[in-house]
Structure 1
Amino acid sequence: MTPFRPIIGITMGDPLGIGPEILIKTLNDPRVYSICRPLVLGDAGILDKALVFSSVSMDINCPETPDQGLYEHQTLDVLNLSDLNPDILGLTTPTAETGRAMENYIIKGVDLAVKNQIAALVTCPITKTGLKLAGSQFHGHTELIAEQTHTKEFAMMLAGKSLRVVLVTIHMPISQVPGALSSDAVLRTIRLTRDSLKTRFGIPEPRIGVAGLNPHAGEDSMFGEEEKNIISPAVGSALKEGIDVKGPLPPDTIFYHAVQGAFDAAICMYHDQGLIPFKLVHFKDGVNTTLGLPIIRTSVDHGTAYDIAWKGKADPSSLMEAVKMAVVQAGNQLSGN
């Protein structure tokens, strides 16, 4: 065991998805307990079914508070927050009940993190449809957590060993991206990235690359003027603040250079600009982490995968990496990096 073993809260996610299975597979690995004390926020009955389904022998302990957990290998510590009927596991679409449950796991996890009862929050996948059926006003984890923590400036980072990408805009039609971009938004994202690389990733002098929006980064405005009017001014302001940043760079080459080690992170203008190259490199082991929050939050970088849920096919690699990253970020925050 390492001296520093933070309590890491892990939400179960959508009960009908692969969350319960990847949780069991991850927490059946004794290496997890050597680096942290994992506390599951979910449904003990569903997890019991997942144990039987996965042929894994673990005792379930249901503490009332995080400090009451046992945190020993082969014991699953579960903060039991719902009492779902296990018969729902045959369903292939979310329900209002499962939507409410998955939202409650997140809300409780954020509350514990804000109160410093857990050192970080790791989230298993949820469905936006389930949240909608439950009457939630939020489209996903990021928006919900930002609202609960009163965070106005935040950004999504996808991180792996070879590549980190940060998004200026997230979930919107590509036709709306140019109108959603502004120099202020790009500059805020550069600042968030610099600050997070320092404090959460322990990189003293982060090097940041910024992608252009258009082919060839606009080619002197031949293919668009967003680089000239929006992105370049933001990069110029960041340079004046002493940030080590370059851009706008051609989108078809920036990721190659980032993977080769030229940048600690690449800032992207829209969702697929960043996620296509990222998932090409880190399809199984990528981690989603939210920058700008007062709490540490990491997540798997995949969805609920209803097509393979409860079939024994789910790969826990991304969840394992998300737990490891949460521990690293918690350690860096504690040491004041």
Structure 2
Amino acid sequence: MIPRIAFTPGEPAGVGPELAVKLACSGRSPDATRAQIIAIADPDLLQQEAARQGRALQLIPFDPEQPSSPTPADSLHILPVALAHEAHPGQLDIANGAYVLETLQRAADGCKARTFDAVVTGPVHKGVINDAGVAFSGHTEFFAEQAGVEKVVMMLAADDLRVALATTHLPLKDVSGAISADSLQQVLTILHRSLQNQFRIEQPRIGVCGLNPHAGEGGHLGREEIEVIEPALDTLRALGMHLIGPLPADTLFTPPQLARCDAVLAMYHDQGLPVLKFKGFGRAINITLGLPFIRTSVDHGTALNIAGTGIADLGSLNAALSQAIELVQLRNL
């Protein structure tokens, strides 16, 4: 079976439209020939971007009643959603905030209906969506709400490094209060099951970062490790999970320690992701764990400063597409 992969290019003023055209016309991964790629976007936006790049792009109307087939070179299947205003590279327009949400809604609906086997997302601009009057904290939270799932986990991956997050888009001052034994157990349970069920790792080994420098230094630099993190890990170890830590992040993110782990759980966004992006920027991807469908994403933002210049790198999108196809295949084994 040829997987059907929905692709949402994201913010129309960012690099998403450029990446969509490049995915079809140049720099194309061999994996693109193994899937039917359906862009959920404004057709005129993509054709304008193709013209800017001097490329001939064929948009094939998506028909879910037809058998899936690989998307030909220089082509994308298209599920059209109209912009409110014409988009210009690098120029945000709050009128198009609803457009971005509609593309995500169509992707979520298609995944829930099993019209799509997975969704790959381009970068969105959270600020412009919020400025448009819609509370929006990110793709991860949006898809969780659409799927009716109480808890999901954000995990980024680059090469052989996987980093999941105990908390996501929070101010640093709020992180400690958001970490509880219950929340850690939920996150680690989802991570453990996803590594088993989605990645086919029979006995996952998960390294867990402490929250404080030196993992609290025995309580002298903070007591979250003693009072919250260690008891949560002990409870899960009693259920058979292989958990390493809590260790200081600057200890855990070293080659000897990472060699012992199939994934790492960081306590907050900027504890784990700088390491991952340093290791694999341009190849790193975002994966949402705990959804009833597969969602992967690029690891970068809208890059408004280079939108329309033709220099956006396709590497992360190709990696996200490859991972989505692999996860579909593993699911179908």
| TM-score when normalising by structure 1 | 0.93
In 1: Cα distance, 2:101 partner to 2:279 partner: 31
Mapping for residues 130-169 of structure 1, pairs under 5 Å = 130-169=128-167
Q: Deviations over 1:187-220 (max 9, x none)?
A: 1111111111112112121110000011111121
Mapping for residues 1-337 of structure 1, pairs under 5 Å = 4-28=1-25, 29=28, 31-65=30-64, 67=66, 71-83=71-83, 85-86=85-86, 88-90=87-89, 92-257=90-255, 260-335=258-333
Contact 2:180 / 2:228 at 8 angstroms: preserved in 1?
yes
In 2: Cα distance, 1:200 partner to 1:27 partner: 28
Letter in 1 for 2:296: T
Letter in 1 for 2:108: V
In 2: Cα distance, 1:128 partner to 1:299 partner: 15
In 2: Cα distance, 1:66 partner to 1:18 partner: 31
What's the CA shift for 1:97?
2.4
Contact 2:181 / 2:231 at 8 angstroms: preserved in 1?
yes
Pair 1:307–1:208, CA change in 2 (3 A): same
Superposed CA RMSD in Å reads 1.7
Letter in 1 for 2:272: G
Contact 2:9 / 2:19 at 8 angstroms: preserved in 1?
no
In 1: Cα distance, 2:131 partner to 2:15 partner: 19
Aligned partner of residue 253 in structure 2, secondary structure: helix
Q: Deviations over 1:250-284 (max 9, x none)?
A: 11111114774210110011110011111111111
What's the CA shift for 1:238?
1.2
In 1: Cα distance, 2:238 partner to 2:225 partner: 18
Instruction: Name whichever of 195-204 and 308-317 sits farther off.
Output: 195-204
In 2: Cα distance, 1:41 partner to 1:203 partner: 33
Runs of at least 5 residues in structure 1 that lack an aligned partner in the other structure: none
In 1: Cα distance, 2:66 partner to 2:5 partner: 12
Pair 1:272–1:113, CA change in 2 (3 A): same
In 1: Cα distance, 2:101 partner to 2:77 partner: 20
Letter in 2 for 1:114: K
What's the CA shift for 1:85?
4.8
In 1: Cα distance, 2:133 partner to 2:65 partner: 29
Contact 1:8 / 1:36 at 8 angstroms: preserved in 2?
yes
In 2: Cα distance, 1:8 partner to 1:259 partner: 35
Corresponding residue pairs, total = 330
Contact 1:59 / 1:75 at 8 angstroms: preserved in 2?
yes
Aligned partner of residue 21 in structure 2, secondary structure: helix
Aligned partner of residue 219 in structure 2, secondary structure: coil
What's the CA shift for 1:66?
7.0
Q: Deviations over 1:133-179 (max 9, x none)?
A: 33222222111111111110111101111311111111111111111
Contact 1:45 / 1:84 at 8 angstroms: preserved in 2?
no
Aligned partner of residue 223 in structure 1, secondary structure: coil
In 2: Cα distance, 1:129 partner to 1:164 partner: 27
Letter in 2 for 1:152: E
Letter in 2 for 1:18: V
In 1: Cα distance, 2:299 partner to 2:292 partner: 21
Moved over 3 A (4+): 64-70, 83-86, 257-260
What's the CA shift for 1:36?
1.2
Runs of at least 5 residues in structure 2 that lack an aligned partner in the other structure: none
Pair 1:234–1:257, CA change in 2 (3 A): farther
Pair 1:263–1:144, CA change in 2 (3 A): same
Identity of aligned residues (%): 35
Contact 1:162 / 1:259 at 8 angstroms: preserved in 2?
no
Contact 1:126 / 1:304 at 8 angstroms: preserved in 2?
yes
In 1: Cα distance, 2:199 partner to 2:55 partner: 34
In 1: Cα distance, 2:115 partner to 2:187 partner: 29
Letter in 2 for 1:33: A
